[in-house]
Amino acid sequence: MDGDVVVVSVNHRLNLLGYLDLSPFGEKYKNSGNAGHADMVAALRWIHKNIALFGGNPENVTIFGQSGGGMKVADLMQIPDADGLFHKGMIMSGVGDAATLPICRGDGREIVRALLAELGLGEGDVEKLETVPYYELAKAYTKVSALIAMKGGYVGGSPLLNDYYLGSPLECGFREHAYQIPLLIGSVFGEFAFLPETYDKTKLSGEEAREIIAKVYGEHTDEMIAAFAKAYPGKYATDLLNVDRVMRQPSKRLAKLHAKGDAGTYLYNFILEFPIQHQKIAWHCSDIPFFFHNTDKVEVCGIQGVSDELEARMFGALMTFTRTGRPGHSGLPQWDAVTEEKEPTMIFDRSCEVRDHYDDALYELIDSILPPFNLMEMMKNQDVQH
């Protein structure tokens, strides 16, 4: 087997089954707002007790996840019950902040009462929720939760801040134990740039590209093109319009926060272009086959003379990290850890390099010109366009 590792995937309860806080309605439901995360802790306990039977080492467990799974890696670092059950973590396109994913405050009183009322049940009928068919339960929840969420109220769907789960690191800071866990954090160039463009960027003249960019940046177009070229030399100018504003900046902040410890914090950015839709820039999930060493299973990843070598480097770096807590591969330049002053980022592309704080000025300029990023609004607009 490539890498000589044992890989275990786990399931856990999601949405209102895993994160609806019923604790105000009885001791029976204590910590129900974190049931989904408690499932993962239970899975890690099972792994700790049994993985040796499968050839694994219970004292060298790396947890990793992508997108929401990546967020759960950071969450598990904030749960004391998980201490000692894993020793390294990898977060792939999974760092969000309050601007991207608003944090619910409070407890389940309002949402549970609204849910009961929608189902025609009284407050004393909480236990009957356990027998409501899931489709009916989800339909009622969807109907009543939107209004509460719009007001900033707690609706479940994510872990509940309490003495079991000590909160998002970006908001609450890391627990002391988290600084003992080496952490590999990364994102991709375009993250949520899923839709095909209406133009072929490879055939645009400089002026045509400028006109497209000007529709977004207006009078700031020339300075934006210059800043982008400095941050991403060799990329097409219109790729500026797809620079990720979801994961990269929070990932940088999380890395700097974790770097206060000395376990080791490492950053990467995957910026490969793919031979579809006129050299489409990397999107959310597009790095997974390279880390998993299975690009041969994903047709779009089959870039002649590129994929095999890049896959070997990325997979090799991950395997080294799982063994030593330090990512590296003979085909990569030296990959230093983030410090509170330096931010070396391994850039995975047709050629790989490490650059320090290379996109700070670009993001500063973007944020000074465009309104604050809103993920939900962007997804809604993409649905409309689609």
Spacing of C-alpha 141 from chain mean position:
26
Q: For residue 248, how many C-alpha atoms fall within 13 Å in the half-sphere facing its CB?
A: 27
Residues whose CB falls within 8 Å of the CB of residue 25, separated by 6 or more in sequence, listed in order? 108, 112, 123, 126
CA 315 – CA 262 distance, rounded (Å): 24
The pLDDT assigned to 375 comes to 64
The pLDDT assigned to 386 comes to 45
Task: Specify whether the CB–CB gap between 36 and 72 falls below 8 A.
Answer: no
Domain spans in the chain, listed from the N-terminal domain onward: 109-150, 184-385
User: Which residue type, as a one-letter code, is found at position 8?
Assistant: V
Res 150 pLDDT > 90 = no
DSSP code at position 105? B
CA 255 – CA 99 distance, rounded (Å): 18
Q: pLDDT tens, 288-325?
A: 999 999 999 999 998 999 999 999 999 999 999 999 99
Res 384 pLDDT > 60 = no
The pLDDT assigned to 266 comes to 98
Res 96 pLDDT > 90 = no
Task: Specify whether the CB–CB gap between 247 and 93 falls below 8 A.
Answer: yes
CA 369 – CA 350 distance, rounded (Å): 31
| Residue range 160-171: mean pLDDT, rounded | 94
Q: Which of 22-36, 97-111, 165-179, 198-212 has the lowest mean pLDDT?
A: 97-111
Q: pLDDT tens, 235-263?
A: 999 999 999 999 999 999 999 999 999 99
- Note the pTM of the prediction, 2 decimals: 0.94
Opening angle at CA 313, ends 308 and 317, nearest 5: 145
The pLDDT assigned to 152 comes to 84
Superfamily of domain 184-385: Alpha/Beta hydrolase fold, catalytic domain (3.40.50.1820)
Nearest alpha carbon to residue 282 among 324, 329, 248, 331: 248
Residues whose CB falls within 8 Å of the CB of residue 258, separated by 6 or more in sequence, listed in order? 169, 174, 178, 179, 183, 185, 265, 338
